[in-house]
Amino acid sequence: MTSKVMGTGSYVPENIVTNEDLAKLVDTSDEWIVSRTGIHERRIAMDEGTSAMAAEAGRRALENAGIGAEELDVIVLATTTPDNLPPSGACEVQAALGAVNAVAFDIAAACTGFEFALTMVQAYVQTGVYRTGLVIGAECLSKIVDWTDRATCVLFGDGAGAAVVRADESGVIHSVLGSDGTKGPVLTCTSRSTGNFLNGREPKLGYVYMDGQEVFRFAVKKVPECIRRVLDESNTDINEIKYFVLHQANLRICESVAKRLHVSMDRIPMNIGAYGNTSGATVPILLDELNREGKLERGDKIVLCGFGGGLTWGAVLLEW
Ligand code: ACO
């Protein structure tokens, strides 16, 4: 048994922040941001947090799948920006949707979160533990970005994407996931973990720090490598793949991956221009757009691929 995507949904906040808006905040320009990243604008949450965005994406995915919330056995929310610790964001989604029969929990794998979560649900489905799952990637990165740091604040946005999967004959075919904790320091955000009454240190909240060039080098090497592996290990020819749905971190990274894989950019859909990098949410938001635009037909093979903090990376080959 595999987990087949039965429906998708996404949600982004209404509030649009353009490059020109950011140029009033920090020393940057539309030209710099577009030429380095491909980003024109991003959505920034005003009042909604990660759980509310995740719940709305989940509700839309259930509607798209024609499946009731009470039919869900498991909800996995991939996020690095949960609203609370605890409850998990997934439990808040469960409550908001009325998914009374589901177990719900979060996982943290940064920009690869959706691929990790989908692979986990696939393992549950394959082993008969659960039958119907809701997999969500949702982030409210605006609350962990330093809005005075031009090197990072121009890159990120908020949003959520979700997929409902159900046990079926065809669906997720194969996954390749990886982590390298020794490279963790190139992309970090410290949380409130350093202080307690014994050491006398104040709990400190940090902001996103990134060694952009190091992440760039890692991505352009690792993404083609793990896509090739997922294809090789499943005896799939690259020409069978209709779309490579890549994490939207940077247009130049995706163009470099296209070159290295010898595939044209029309097989690598992009929406980074409109949303920026929403970390674990980019892949499911893009997947939802492809689905709703009618670009996916049953039987199509696609590869989802993420990479990011941890460092982590992962590719999931699936039949639509
Ligand atoms: N506007 C204007 N100038 C800027 C900005 C900005 N927003 N940010 C940095 N600069 C300046 C720097 O200060 C530096 O100036 P200097 O030469 O006077 O010191 C100059 O631009 C070049 O800085 P670099 O960091 O070398 O810029 P680079 O060309 O590497 O581009 C970028 C930065 C876009 C982040 C690039 O490294 C990149 O694409 N990295 C990939 C990582 C990525 O996309 N991460 C996204 C999040 S992580 C993830 O999703 C996995």
94-128 tens-digit pLDDT: 999 999 999 999 999 999 999 999 999 999 999 99
pLDDT greater than 90 at residue 23: yes
> Which residue's alpha carbon is nearest to atom 31 within ligand 1?
36
Would you state the structure tokens that stand for residue 44, as one six-digit string? 């920034």
Place of tokens 């489905």: 125
Instruction: Round to the nearest angstrom and report the end-to-end CA distance of the chain.
Output: 15
> Which residue's alpha carbon is nearest to atom 41 within ligand 1?
216
The confidence band for 194, taking pLDDT boundaries of 50, 70 and 90, is confident
Distance 290 CA to ligand 1 centre (A): 29
Q: What is the pLDDT of residues 214-243, one digit of tens each?
A: 999 999 999 999 999 999 999 999 999 999
Mutate to test the pocket of ligand 1, among 40, 156, 216 (most ligand atoms within 8 A of CB): 216
Q: Which residues are catalytic?
A: 111, 247, 277
> Which residue's alpha carbon is nearest to atom 37 within ligand 1?
212
Would you state the structure tokens that stand for residue 159, as one six-digit string? 């949003």
SS3 136: strand
User: 45: Cβ–Cβ under 8 A, 6 or more apart, which residues?
Assistant: 13, 15, 53, 140, 142, 158
The CA distance from 256 to 60, in Å, is: 33
Do residues 177 and 119 lie in contact, with contact meaning Cβ atoms separated by under 8 Å?
A: yes
* Ligand 1 pocket by Cβ (under 6 Å): 28, 32-33, 36-37, 111, 150-151, 154-155, 187, 210, 212-213, 215-216, 249-250, 277, 307-308
> Parallel, antiparallel, or unpaired for β 74-78 and 103-107?
parallel
Please, where are the H alpha helices in 202-311? 212-233, 251-261, 272-275, 282-292
Q: Which H or E element spans position 76?
A: strand 74-78
SS3 193: coil
Over residues 237-253, mean pLDDT: 98
Distance 209 CA to ligand 1 centre (A): 12
> What b/e string do you get for 136-154 counting C-beta neighbours within 10 Å, with b at 16 or more?
bbbbbbbebbeeeebebbb
Over residues 43-52, mean pLDDT: 96
Flag whether the pTM goes above 0.95: yes
Reference 40, options 70, 18, 14, 57; nearest CA is: 18
